[in-house]
Structure 1
Amino acid sequence: MSRRRASGPLDRTVAALARHAPPWLIDPVPRDHRESDQAFRRRRRVTAGVSVLGAGLLGVSLSQKPDSKEFYGLTMAVAGTWVAGGIASGPLHLGWMRSSKEVLHRPVITPVVTGVGIFGVFYSAALVARRIPVLNAAVTRVLRYAHQGNPALVATTTLANGMAEEVFFRGALYAAAGTTHPVAKSTAVYALATTATRNPALVLASVVMGALFGWQRRITGGIQAPVLTHLVWSTLMLRFLPALFDDQPSIEAERPQLDD
């Protein structure tokens, strides 16, 4: 059977990027992550159970009041669930990246630059989302935790969950997906878990970022690149995005009025 030629605009764009991008940026590094059939089945059982448990906790955590003990406790419980599931499923790998001189090194600079770049994309998209009522409301609902919460605690829980998600979704779950379309499979489960929040903005972000993080895992063979990109992206989003979706009026409305 002949191979179908790329015909759509997206197919042509991906093919053009593959032809012109430097090999060290798109070719997976050599790796040996083979494991026994028994270990692979165990990994799949663990990731299946943890995916359901973590998604449930995630949905409950974002239904709590901002700056409440319940919110911070449940949010950290979500992070703990992802990390525990990732560790319990089997070995995790940091990964390697090729330099332009074909030398293998741990990925650091490229993931950090990628995090900055993807933040720029999301910031531009946020300027558009403000003009779309459904997305504006969805993003504002998420950012109320930043507006009304303790800055240090919000940053801690956000970054802890960013790292934990990569340990589980691009570590354990990616490995459990096997060798057939692991990027698509891990991204799909990531998005399904995020639907527990019932927030369309978060689900949309999970699809975009899940695909990017999955691609980084594919190229490097480990979780260090997606972890660094996720942390940089999350830090910048938390620092600059709330100002675009200021819900100060709603905060003022919730404050008790003092008698004259």
Structure 2
Amino acid sequence: MNVVAEFRAFLRAALVTPVERYHTESDAAFRRRRVVAAVTLVIGAVILAFALRIEPGDPRFYGATFALAGVWAGGAFLSGPLHLGRAHTRGGSGSSRAVVQSLALGVMLLALFMVGALVVARIPVLREPVQELLDHARVGSLPLVALITVVNGIAEELYFRGALYAAVGRRHAVAVTTVVYALVTAAAGIPLLVLAAALVGLVVAFQRRVTGGILGPIVTHLTWSLGMLFLLPPVLDALS
């Protein structure tokens, strides 16, 4: 199999062809999940808007972002059962936990964004809002910001690709969760962050559709977000 065919087969297995599973719930449970998901979304969006407007170095940022993670995760678990999901194996004869494919997707997304950074670094109107967001890591504690990145990445996937995805229903879940994720991120007031949320959200939503669970989206999200945290600042600084 040549490289192009191999790549197409990978994308088809990771993002297109669903793994068979049997996840069902009663109408009452589905209605309850929708109510909990809606309330969680409103509270989470308000806290996110507040957290991302806190000045770098202000200790309130850490408390606000951990509180945000608590809201996303708490709402997700209160909404109903969450599933880890399974991915296609390389040979196509079975399934396994969605780890290796998800790591690969996360690295691909990271590489794509690093290429985009080459453009962003040379355009002040795009670069400066991103630099201000990254100042939380520069001015504050980088290890603590990295921990926040991990905790919030997991919590976001528990909610957006776990609770909210299940609450929307199968037919439009990919589109709805991607749009909602981007709109919630718009509270930060950073256009490029909204674009990033839309692209990453779309990829992990397709993963959720294929695997039927949250493990794949979590692995992809963390691979991308931690890579951005550590690689984007030096790239922007070097090219600015």
CA offsets 1:167-198 (integer angstroms, 9 cap, x no match)? 00000000011022210000111111111111
- Please show how residues 111-126 of structure 1 align to structure 2 within 5 Å: 111-126=102-117
SS in 1 for 2:101: helix
The offset of 1:144, in angstroms, is: 1.1
Structure 2 Cα separation of the partners of residues 131 and 177 of structure 1? 40
- Are 2:40 and 1:28 aligned? no
SS in 1 for 2:184: helix
Pick one of 114, 135, 145 that aligns with 1:154.
145
Structure 2 Cα separation of the partners of residues 32 and 134 of structure 1? 48
In the other structure, the counterpart of 2:56 is 66
In the other structure, the counterpart of 1:226 is 217
SS in 2 for 1:49: helix
Structure 2 Cα separation of the partners of residues 67 and 160 of structure 1? 19
Pick one of 38, 44, 53 that aligns with 1:48.
38
Percentage identity across aligned positions? Answer: 47
Structure 2 Cα separation of the partners of residues 209 and 93 of structure 1? 20
Pick one of 178, 181, 193 that aligns with 1:187.
178
Q: Supply the AA of the counterpart residue of 1:59.
A: A
- Are 2:187 and 1:196 aligned? yes
The offset of 1:21, in angstroms, is: 3.3
Taking structure 2 as the reference length, the TM-score comes to 0.91
- Are 2:140 and 1:140 aligned? no
Unaligned runs of 5+ in 1: 1-16, 248-260
In the other structure, the counterpart of 1:242 is 233
In the other structure, the counterpart of 1:168 is 159
Q: Supply the AA of the counterpart residue of 1:85.
A: G
Taking structure 1 as the reference length, the TM-score comes to 0.84
In the other structure, the counterpart of 2:67 is 77
- Is the 8 Å Cα contact of residues 146 and 242 (structure 1) preserved in structure 2? no
In the other structure, the counterpart of 1:7 is none
- Is the 8 Å Cα contact of residues 143 and 245 (structure 1) preserved in structure 2? no
- Is the 8 Å Cα contact of residues 24 and 102 (structure 1) preserved in structure 2? no
Structure 1 Cα separation of the partners of residues 92 and 235 of structure 2? 42
Unaligned runs of 5+ in 2: none
SS in 1 for 2:104: helix
Pick one of 94, 103, 106 that aligns with 2:94.
103
Structure 1 Cα separation of the partners of residues 63 and 207 of structure 2? 31
Q: Supply the AA of the counterpart residue of 1:235.
A: L
Pick one of 25, 28, 34 that aligns with 1:38.
28
CA offsets 1:1-57 (integer angstroms, 9 cap, x no match)? xxxxxxxxxxxxxxxx9xx53653421011111111111111111111111110110
Comparing 207-216 and 59-68, the one that deviates more? 59-68
In the other structure, the counterpart of 1:251 is none
Structure 2 Cα separation of the partners of residues 64 and 158 of structure 1? 16
**Aligned pair count?**
229
For the aligned residue pairs, the C-alpha RMSD in angstroms reads: 1.6
The offset of 1:61, in angstroms, is: 0.6
Q: Which has the larger radius of gyration?
A: 1
Change (3 A) 1:245 1:149: farther
CA offsets 1:46-84 (integer angstroms, 9 cap, x no match)? 111111110110110111122222000001011111000
Q: Supply the AA of the counterpart residue of 1:226.
A: P
